Amino acid sequence: MKVAIVADSPTLTTGFAVTTNRIARALTAADHEVVYFDLKAYGEILDRSEYPFRIWTIAIDFGSPWGNLLRRFLDYEKPEADRTWLVRQRRPNVQKSGSTHSAQKTP
């Protein structure tokens, strides 16, 4: 399965980057094709031979509109699973009851 990850660059030491780097490596080891949309890295600052997955590096400044780049990434790569898909799969059914929300687990 082709999986897209949108996260901090795997070259960074943030908790988010370290965790998603480990997830990407585990998915690759399980024979999934992983494509990584690298946030917060500026240009080619990584040794691609160190990563067993394809990385799209983008140079963005905070506040810059990177939504178009993400759309291009997803349109080009056409992943079968991305974070949105994973959230939908694990999210309980949420039903509105008047002005309050109640979550009910699916059987």
Q: How many CB atoms lie within 10 A of CB 72?
A: 13
pTM (2 d.p.): 0.67
Q: Over range 71-98, report the average pLDDT.
A: 62
Q: 3-class secondary structure for 11-63? A: CCCCHHHHHHHHHHHHHHHCCCEEEEEEECCCCCCCCHHHCCCEEEECCCCCC
Local structure of 68: helix, strand or coil: helix
Q: What is the pLDDT of residue 8?
A: 86
pLDDT tens profile 28-84: 999 999 999 888 776 666 788 899 999 888 766 656 667 778 888 888 899 887 554
Q: What is the pLDDT of residue 102?
A: 39
Q: What is the pLDDT of residue 29?
A: 96
